[in-house]
Amino acid sequence: MNVIDTEIPEVKIFEPKVFGDERGFFFESFSQKVFESAIGKKVEFVQDNHSKSVRGVLRGLHYQLPPMAQGKLVRVVQGEVFDVAVDIRKSSPTFGKWVGVNLSAENKRQLWVPEGFAHGFLTLSETAEFLYKTTNFYSQSHEGAIIWNDQALRISWPAVANMTVSQKDQLARSFDQANLFS
């Protein structure tokens, strides 16, 4: 597994070594040993989630506050998305910065989105199936969201015709008004 650093040190891209031939392919999609070595701490995943979206669906920017904060290891098993992690830790030197990466069934990359980051993605293919492991259970009373097109963040979302954003995400707070991590 190849571990790729991003502009935000805590956010990592995991790129598997794929072995393929005329029969298909094989790759190791997760190794606790490799993962923990790369991020420098022990992590326990407690929940796996699976979503499907059509082209132009934008989900996010979502997060959960302590004590129910979630780290997420995300990947796409069908289609392609543009995936974003935003540092929402006020005490961080990269506070307000974001990382964006294309995740697809073809490149088989995964993105580690640590606790203290908001997360979102935009579906680029006809459909995309998105899988993610979380380090904490879903808690509606601890969830937060930042509006996807916040001017302070200036996320460079790819241009997609007929973007679809849920009403809940359209009503999300601006970055400067959201409840964030200290």
Q: Is 62 a catalytic residue?
A: yes
**Residue 131: strand, helix, or coil:** strand
Give the pLDDT of residue 66.
Answer: 97
Strand extents, DSSP E, the chain: 2-5, 12-15, 19-21, 24-26, 47-54, 57-64, 72-78, 80-87, 98-104, 110-113, 117-123, 127-134, 143-145, 164-165
Give the fold, CATH level 3, of 45-170.
Jelly Rolls (2.60.120)
- Decide if pLDDT at 72 tops 90: yes
What number is the average pLDDT over the span 156-168? 95
- The residue annotated as part of the active site, out of 50, 63, 132, 138, is 132
| pLDDT above 90 coverage of the chain, percent | 93
Q: Is 132 a catalytic residue?
A: yes
Tokens linked to 22: 């005329």
Is the distance from CB of 120 to CB of 148 less than 8 angstroms? yes
Residue 61, CB-side half-sphere exposure with 13 Å CA sphere? 31
- Decide if pLDDT at 159 tops 90: yes
Cα-to-chain-centroid distance, residue 16 = 17
pLDDT digits (tens, 9 = 90+) for 77-132: 999 999 999 999 999 999 999 999 999 999 999 999 999 999 999 999 999 999 99
- The residue annotated as part of the active site, out of 62, 63, 119, 142, is 62
Give the pLDDT of residue 84.
Answer: 98
Give the pLDDT of residue 28.
Answer: 87
Give the pLDDT of residue 181.
Answer: 95
Quote the pTM value.
0.95
